[in-house]
Chain A
Amino acid sequence: MKTKRRIIFEIAILILIMIMCSGCGGTQKSISDDSGEEEREIYAMDTYMTVKAYGGGAKEAVDKAEERIRELDSKLSTGIEESEVYQINKNGGGVLSEDGVYLLKRSLELWDSTDRTFNPAIYPIMELWGFTTKDYQVPDEDEISDTLKLTDADNIIFDEKTGKVSFKKDGMKLDFGGVAKGYTSDCIMKIFNECGIKSGIVSLGGNVHVLGNKPDGSDFRIAIRNPDTQQDSYIGVLEASDCAVITSGGYERYFEKDGVIYHHIIDSETGYPADNGLKSVTIVSKDGTLADILSTSLYIMGLDKASDYWYEHREKFDVIFVDDSGTVYITGGIEKNFESEYDVRIIK
């Protein structure tokens, strides 16, 4: 009798211990996670950034990443007087650093391959609309057609070996605004790798780039913003590792005049904001520079042309489109990684 009572007693104690332990588990885990990670907020390139690395050496890696961000900002900004881009635009030519050479080279390659939808010479038209100063205006047609004469990237004279840049027309200007953040996140991933970091995530003003998996081995979960609403809603969540996830949409920067909304993604064919049936385009690629460029490019192309472009280059990237009717389209390569409560059509 006595042993039976003891067994019951021991079982009860065991249950008590088990319940208490399961309750504590979560708290202990988050403490150990905290010890091996470094997260930092950085204000640079006219935007808000977060940089996070996990594991040993995380602080050093994030320090170096911040240093690199500041370096690239001071080299590539169109608004900082000391920057090489500012100087080239002011003097009608000059010499680019290694970073600038890489960016102009990639930009010109994609200017060709995207049928002139990504344009590194678009700056004069952005100035005309006031997107560079936030002093917005709707230009008249003559002003637009005059300015468009200065935005043909074929008129950039560029020597890759020496870095020398000049323009065939006076008043032309370079702008790496559509590619600098994607390139910067590539550079941060390189720094993380060099520092032995296996897991990290950065968001450079909404341009997300992840290294490896989360420390627990699962994929990172990246929400894609709903272009129709305020921040509080997503069109879906992408599970991702080792890639950049970069979205472009008219909602990012715009102004309203006489009831019409003018957004900042200017089609350099027309000189007006692109209006080809898409609300947002998200590119998923291991190449952050490519993802940044193509998010703008495919937005300007519209769904049909963009789908064809994807098919031709489908080993390099995938896409999530939201069209004007709110329908979500994703390309075949990310079919299994994307979850959404919306109707999703697969492009193959």
Chain B
Amino acid sequence: MKKKDIILIGTILLIALISYLVIHFRSNNTGNIVIVSVSGEIYGKYPLNENRIIDVNENKGYNRIVINDGKVYMEEADCPDKYCVSQGKISKTGEIIVCLPHKLSVEIKNQSEATDEIDAVAK
């Protein structure tokens, strides 16, 4: 085997490795998304791994949703019972925070088909 062969094989394997890493990294990145819905209609989709604050001010009232360090919680709301705020932080696929008076839901979904994913929570 000549030196050129080794360089050729090395280059191809390197491309393969980079392609694999790019695909793997991207699919991980888009894996967990936060879906905010109002009255059953999707209001917005946000990656779980990017910190941000989402202010929703629809006709029913005001909700402030915070995504921080891979967790999502309702920081503030002007609904009467504030149950959505007391529901705490969620981070796993299938988990959901609901503000019933405002008909608003915040759900974590996974786009890739991980086998340990949960389909629903009985509660």
Contacts of B16 in A (CB 8 A): 15-16, 19-20
Are A19 and B39 touching (Cβ within 8 A)? no
Residue A208 is within 8 A (CB to CB) of chain B in the complex = yes
Asked, given contacts A8-B1, A8-B9, whether A225 binds B112 with beta carbons under 8 Å apart, the answer is: no
Are A40 and B40 touching (Cβ within 8 A)? yes
Are B120 and A48 touching (Cβ within 8 A)? no
Asked, given contacts A5-B5, A214-B119, A222-B120, whether A16 binds B12 with beta carbons under 8 Å apart, the answer is: yes
Contacts of A246 in B (CB 8 A): 122
Chain A's closest residue to B17 (CB) is A19
Bound CA span A218–B20, Å? 28
Asked, given contacts A203-B120, A221-B117, A225-B123, whether A23 binds B40 with beta carbons under 8 Å apart, the answer is: no
Chain A's closest residue to B10 (CB) is A12
Bound CA span A218–B123, Å? 23
Residue B54 is within 8 A (CB to CB) of chain A in the complex = no
Contacts of A41 in B (CB 8 A): 37, 40, 105
Chain B's closest residue to A17 (CB) is B16
Query: A198-220: contact bitstring with B at CB < 8 Å (1 yes, 0 no)?
Result: 00010100111010001010101
Please give the distance in Å from A43's CB to the nearest CB on chain B.
Answer: 5
Are B23 and A24 touching (Cβ within 8 A)? yes
Please give the distance in Å from B119's CB to the nearest CB on chain A.
Answer: 5
Contacts of B81 in A (CB 8 A): 134
Residue B61 is within 8 A (CB to CB) of chain A in the complex = no
Please give the distance in Å from B13's CB to the nearest CB on chain A.
Answer: 7
Contacts of A140 in B (CB 8 A): none
Contacts of A259 in B (CB 8 A): none
Are B113 and A225 touching (Cβ within 8 A)? no
Bound CA span A129–B29, Å? 49
Are B90 and A220 touching (Cβ within 8 A)? no
Please give the distance in Å from B8's CB to the nearest CB on chain A.
Answer: 7
Are B24 and A223 touching (Cβ within 8 A)? no
Contacts of B15 in A (CB 8 A): 16
Interface centre among A13, A40, A41, A221 (most CB of B within 10 A): A41
Residue A325 is within 8 A (CB to CB) of chain B in the complex = no
Contacts of A203 in B (CB 8 A): 120-121
Asked, given contacts A9-B8, A26-B113, whether A16 binds B19 with beta carbons under 8 Å apart, the answer is: yes
Are A231 and B97 touching (Cβ within 8 A)? yes
Please give the distance in Å from B39's CB to the nearest CB on chain A.
Answer: 7
Residue B66 is within 8 A (CB to CB) of chain A in the complex = no
Residue B88 is within 8 A (CB to CB) of chain A in the complex = yes
Are B5 and A247 touching (Cβ within 8 A)? no
Bound CA span A104–B95, Å? 34
Chain A: how many interface residues by the 8 Å CB criterion?
53
Are A29 and B88 touching (Cβ within 8 A)? no
Residue B118 is within 8 A (CB to CB) of chain A in the complex = yes
Are B40 and A223 touching (Cβ within 8 A)? no
Residue A30 is within 8 A (CB to CB) of chain B in the complex = yes
Interface centre among B1, B23, B89 (most CB of A within 10 A): B23
Query: A119-133: contact bitstring with B at CB < 8 Å (1 yes, 0 no)?
Result: 000000000000000
Chain B's closest residue to A237 (CB) is B118
Residue A230 is within 8 A (CB to CB) of chain B in the complex = yes
Chain B's closest residue to A203 (CB) is B120
Contacts of A237 in B (CB 8 A): 118
Asked, given contacts A16-B15, A232-B90, whether A46 binds B100 with beta carbons under 8 Å apart, the answer is: yes
Pairs across A and B, CB under 8 Å, 7 listed: A12-B13, A15-B13, A46-B100, A48-B100, A210-B120, A222-B118, A231-B88
Q: 11 extra interchain contacts, Cβ-Cβ under 8 A, other than A23-B23, A23-B24, A222-B119?
A: A4-B1, A5-B5, A12-B13, A13-B12, A19-B20, A26-B27, A40-B40, A48-B98, A221-B119, A232-B91, A245-B120
Chain B contact residues, CB within 8 Å of chain A: 1-2, 5, 8-9, 12-13, 15-16, 19-20, 23-24, 27, 37, 39-40, 81, 87-92, 94-98, 100, 103, 105, 111-113, 115-123
Chain A contact residues, CB within 8 Å of chain B: 4-5, 8-9, 12-13, 15-16, 19-20, 23-24, 26-27, 29-30, 33, 40-43, 46-48, 50, 134, 201, 203, 206-208, 210, 214, 216, 218, 220-225, 230-232, 234, 237-238, 245-247, 249, 252, 282
